[in-house]
Amino acid sequence: MKSRLLSVVSLLIGIALFVHLLKQTGTAEILARVQAMGAGFLLILAISGTRQLARSYAWLRCMSDDDRRVGLWAVLRARLAGDALADLTAAGPVIGEPVKIAQLKGKIRLSNLASSLAVENLTYAISSGLLVLAGTLTLLVLFAVADNIRTASLLALLIVSVSLLTLLFSLTRRWKIFSTLMSSLVGFLPQLSTVLPRVHELENYIFDFYERRRADFLVVACCDFLFHLAGVLEIYATLYLIGFSATFINAFILEAVNRVMNIVFAFVPAMIGVDEAGTGLLTSILGLGTGAGIAIAIIRKARMFVWIGLGVIFLALGQKQNEK
C-alpha cells in the first residue's frame, strides 16, 4: 500500500514538473525537435536493443555451465519483465529483481538464479561507478559549472570512490559483510537464522565467481562496457537526429549523469519529470540548451515504453505458464 502511494505521489509530482518544464522551455520547440527524429527512432530502438542483449548475456555468463542451458531468449524475457515493473513502480529494483528470478523459476534453482543475478548486478554497479567517475571528472575539467553543482559533483565523486573501494576490498578479501551483519542480529531476530545459510551460499558464489571464473568475468565486463558504450552512442545519435551538433564527449557526460539519476530517482515511475529536468540542466551546462535535454529525455522515455510494453507481455505470458 505504501509503495503504491509513493508511486502515485512521485508520478504526480513528476508529471507536474514535466508540464512546468514544457511551458518554461516552449512546447513548440520541443515538439519540433522530437518530430525531427522521424524514422530515426528505429535506430534508437536498435541501439537500445543492443544494451538489453548485452546485460542479458552478462547474466547468462554469470550462471553455471549447466544453468546456461536455459538460453539467452529466456533470460532476455525475464530481464524485460522485471525491468518493466521496476520502471513503472516506486519499488524499482526491490520488485524488479525478484520478478526476473520468478520468470525463470522451475528452470533453474532459485538460489542459483539469485546468486548469478547478484553477480551480474554487482559487476554492472562497478562498471557504472567507473563511468560516473570518468564522466563527472570530464564535466568538471572541460566545462564551467556553478559552484553548487561543482560541490554536488565533488561529493558524488567522493561517495562513488569510497563505495567502489569498499566493494573491491570486500571482494578481494572475501569480507562476508551481509552474513556477519545478519549473524549479529540473530539474537534480536531469530527468524534470520533460517535465511543465514542462503546468504552464506550467495556470498561464496560471488567470491568464487571473481576468483575462479576469470574468463566469465572478462566476458561480463565486456558486456557492461558494450552496454555503456551503446548508451553513449544512443545519446549521440539522438542529438544528431534532432538537429544538434553534439560531440562524443557531450554524449559521454550525459550518459554518465543519467546513470546517477537512474539510481537516485529509481522510485519515480519511468523517471517522468526528473529525467527531463536533470538532462535539461546538463545540456544547458554543455551549451546545447535546455530544450535539447528535454527532447532527449522524451525520446528516451518513448523507447523505454516500447521495452516496458514487451516486458509486460512477457510477464503475462510467464504467469500463464506458471499457472499451467
Segment 204-232, tens digit of pLDDT: 999 999 999 999 999 999 999 999 999 99
Cβ–Cβ < 8 Å for 269, 88: yes
Q: How many domains does the chain have?
A: 1
| d(C-alpha 189, C-alpha 309), whole Å | 41
Rounded to an integer, the average pLDDT of 135-149 is: 91
| d(C-alpha 187, C-alpha 309), whole Å | 46
Sign of CA dihedral 3, 260, 41, 21: positive
Q: Which residue has the higher pLDDT, 243 or 264?
A: 243
Rounded to an integer, the average pLDDT of 142-150 is: 88
Q: pLDDT for 74-105, tens place per residue?
A: 999 999 999 998 888 877 777 889 999 999 98
Range of the domain at 223: 2-323
Please give the model's pTM, rounded to 2 decimal places.
0.90
Q: Which residue has the higher pLDDT, 187 or 232?
A: 232
Mean pLDDT check: name the lowest of 40-44, 49-53, 74-78, 271-275.
271-275
What pLDDT score does 152 carry? 87
What pLDDT score does 86 carry? 87
Query: Residue 127 pLDDT > 80, yes or no?
Result: yes
Q: Which residue has the higher pLDDT, 246 or 161?
A: 161
What pLDDT score does 135 carry? 94
What pLDDT score does 105 carry? 87
What pLDDT score does 213 carry? 93
Mean pLDDT across the chain, nearest whole number? 87
Query: Residue 176 pLDDT > 60, yes or no?
Result: yes
| d(C-alpha 276, C-alpha 311), whole Å | 23
Give the model's confidence band at 5: pLDDT under 50 very low, under 70 low, under 90 confident, else very high: low
Give the model's confidence band at 276: pLDDT under 50 very low, under 70 low, under 90 confident, else very high: confident
10 Å Cβ neighbour count for 317? 13
Query: Residue 35 pLDDT > 70, yes or no?
Result: yes
Give the model's confidence band at 7: pLDDT under 50 very low, under 70 low, under 90 confident, else very high: low
What pLDDT score does 163 carry? 92
Give the model's confidence band at 322: pLDDT under 50 very low, under 70 low, under 90 confident, else very high: low
The x, y and z cell numbers of residue 70, run together, are 536455459
